[in-house]
């Protein structure tokens, strides 16, 4: 689990440094990645403290990204809706762990990311929605399991790894979109008689 987290975190760091054009998004993403890499196992002696610390950072970061662009009033319900859905899926997988071994589970992440891209068009809003859904869903699941004294079933490291993986996939799709846009622009300029460079 730890190796997976750091692999995705360093990959995101490279993407942020070399491929993200917007300075603000680059700065914010690098700051949060740095905090997560430094504090991944920081409060291992206090699982609840570690959980609340990471949830707090995810909630603040996700909210900051999501509200960075003005949205319609209806769009502000998406984080809550996705959080409830995320909590339901996560609790189902914890109660029935055999489904985690199912070969198509990793493709489920692509489906969810595709849904996020349908509802929110800008990349920072998509990342904010993903992070808020992760943090909110994990918090809901934690509170529900806490009613039965089973809050230890929620793994902070799994939550952080899934957050990082989702951001990685979102940035990958964003890069593909940027590449398609630049190819379209070059084709238009060629069709207007400009030299291909």
Q: Which DSSP helix (H) or strand (E) runs through 73? A: none
Q: Is 5 helix (H, G, I), strand (E, B) or coil?
A: helix
Cβ–Cβ under 8 Å, residues 33 and 20: no
For 132, the token pair is 């808020």
Give the pLDDT confidence score for residue 193 in this predicted structure.
57
Residue 157: partners with Cβ closer than 8 Å, 6 or more residues away: 1, 2, 5, 40
Residues (pLDDT < 70) of the chain are: 1, 43, 103-105, 191-197
149: left (phi over 0), alpha (psi -120 to 50) or beta: left
- Mean of the per-residue pLDDT values for the chain? 85
> What's this model's pTM, rounded to 2 decimal places?
0.86
Give the pLDDT confidence score for residue 63 in this predicted structure.
93
Q: Is 20 helix (H, G, I), strand (E, B) or coil?
A: coil
pLDDT in tens, 117-152: 888 888 889 999 999 999 999 999 999 988 888 877
């Amino acid at each position: 689990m730890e190796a997976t987290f750091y692999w995705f975190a360093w990959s995101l760091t490279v993407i942020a440094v070399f491929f993200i054009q917007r300075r603000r998004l680059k700065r914010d993403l690098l700051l949060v990645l740095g905090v997560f890499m430094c504090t991944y196992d920081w409060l291992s002696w206090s699982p609840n403290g570690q959980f609340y610390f990471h949830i707090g950072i995810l909630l603040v970061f996700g909210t900051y990204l999501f509200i960075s662009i003005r949205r319609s009033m209806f769009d502000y319900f998406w984080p809550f809706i996705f959080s409830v859905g995320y909590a339901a899926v996560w609790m189902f997988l914890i109660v029935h762990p055999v489904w985690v071994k199912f070969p198509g589970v990793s493709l489920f992440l692509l489906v969810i990311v595709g849904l996020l891209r349908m509802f929110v068009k800008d990349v920072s809003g998509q990342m904010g929605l993903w992070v808020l859904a992760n943090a909110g869903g994990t918090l809901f699941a934690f509170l529900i399991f806490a009613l039965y004294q089973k809050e230890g079933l929620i793994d902070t490291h799994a939550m952080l790894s899934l957050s990082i993986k989702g951001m990685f996939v979102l940035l990958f799709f964003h890069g593909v979109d940027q590449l398609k846009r630049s190819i379209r622009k070059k084709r238009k300029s060629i069709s207007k008689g400009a030299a291909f460079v």
